[in-house]
């Protein structure tokens, strides 16, 4: 099983989904999707390197993002300083992730293939303070239209850090029903740079970025997984650079179910930056 932050194991899912209406762009007076930290690479032992990689223009916008050593590689397009499209640039896959906005929040993400067929889509909802509270992915099934594929529910601590992430995989195609919860505790007071990975379950799905959405401001020192599948408890320690950014995350993972229940497993993640 692939272990990475947030220590979500691989699931094999059904295909992706879509939508054909024009995508509303955000208003030009909304804060720009400029990266607060110019993260370069994220790496973990025994995984393709770099696992995540980012490139930027001089203004600080992400222009290219990739994962799994280029297995997924995207050019990012902006409108009114907000992310508007992520375009897969590896042949033969020319999928486009199209963002639409409502009240200046990302409302939907539609995925279309090179023929313009919309085959997977996400609907996003928010708290009154504009924190992401739910993300519903749907996939298009022949003759059945769009059906639920994955639901993510998020809740937060008063300081704005993610407290709980509930993941529900719905039964569709070869995918079976699964429900599990990740709890995050004991946050540090340093900047978080990899919360986006919590929403990217595995290499079989597109990477999607939400630059204007912060689900973790800081770094959790503990992650507890319960529910279907293997359960575990992992405790993290961090090493930081002079700007308070994590350069190394070390974890002691304790399996709490399955054949390895009671055993410890060491995990680590390294981070690099452009400045």
Q: Over the stretch 66-125, which tens digit does the pLDDT of each residue have?
A: 999 989 999 999 999 999 999 999 878 899 999 999 988 999 999 999 999 999 999 999
Q: Is residue 151 included in any domain, yes or no?
A: yes
Q: Is residue 184 included in any domain, yes or no?
A: yes
Q: Is residue 5 included in any domain, yes or no?
A: no
pLDDT of the residue at 32: 85
Q: Is residue 113 included in any domain, yes or no?
A: yes
Compute the distance between CA of residue 123 and CA of residue 148 in angstroms, rounded to an integer: 11
pTM value? 0.88
162-169 and 39-43: which strand pairing? unpaired
- Least confident residue range of 93-107, 127-141, 166-180, 201-215: 201-215
Q: Is residue 52 included in any domain, yes or no?
A: yes
User: Residue 154 forms beta bridges with which residues?
Assistant: 165
Q: Is residue 155 included in any domain, yes or no?
A: yes
Residue 65: give its domain's CATH number: 2.40.160.190
Q: Are 197 and 5 in contact (CB under 8 A)?
A: yes
Domains in the chain, number: 1
Top pLDDT among 28 and 46 is at 46
Q: Is residue 130 included in any domain, yes or no?
A: yes
Range of the domain at 212: 39-273
Q: What is the pLDDT of residues 123-139, one digit of tens each?
A: 999 999 999 999 999 99
Q: Are 206 and 16 in contact (CB under 8 A)?
A: yes
pLDDT of the residue at 25: 61
Q: Is residue 19 included in any domain, yes or no?
A: no
Compute the distance between CA of residue 206 and CA of residue 111 in angstroms, rounded to an integer: 9
The arithmetic mean of pLDDT across residues 134-156, rounded, is 93
User: Residue 135 forms beta bridges with which residues?
Assistant: 124, 152
């Amino acid at each position: 099983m692939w272990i990475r932050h947030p220590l979500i194991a691989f699931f094999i899912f059904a295909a992706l989904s879509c939508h054909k209406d024009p995508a509303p762009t955000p208003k030009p007076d909304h804060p720009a999707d400029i990266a607060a930290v110019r993260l370069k690479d994220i790496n973990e032992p025994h995984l393709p390197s770099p696992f995540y990689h980012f490139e930027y223009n001089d203004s600080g916008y992400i222009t290219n993002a990739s994962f799994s050593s280029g297995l997924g590689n995207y050019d990012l397009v902006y409108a009114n300083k907000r992310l508007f499209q992520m375009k897969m640039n590896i042949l033969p896959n020319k999928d486009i992730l199209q963002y639409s906005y409502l009240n200046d929040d990302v409302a939907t993400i539609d995925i279309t293939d090179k023929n313009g067929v919309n085959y997977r889509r996400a609907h996003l909802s928010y708290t009154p303070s504009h924190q992401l509270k739910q993300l519903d992915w749907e996939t298009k099934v022949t003759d059945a239209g769009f059906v639920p594929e994955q639901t993510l529910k998020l809740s937060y601590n008063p300081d704005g850090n993610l407290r709980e992430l509930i993941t529900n995989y719905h039964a569709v195609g070869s995918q079976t029903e699964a429900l599990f919860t990740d709890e995050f505790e004991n946050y540090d007071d340093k900047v978080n740079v990899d919360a986006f990975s919590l929403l990217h379950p595995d290499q079989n799905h597109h990477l999607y970025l939400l630059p204007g959405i912060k689900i973790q401001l800081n770094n959790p020192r503990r992650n507890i997984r319960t529910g279907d599948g293997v359960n575990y408890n992992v405790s993290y320690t961090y090493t930081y650079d002079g700007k308070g950014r994590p350069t190394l995350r070390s974890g002691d993972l304790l399996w709490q179910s399955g054949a390895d229940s009671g055993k410890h497993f060491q995990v680590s993640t390294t981070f690099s930056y452009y400045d």
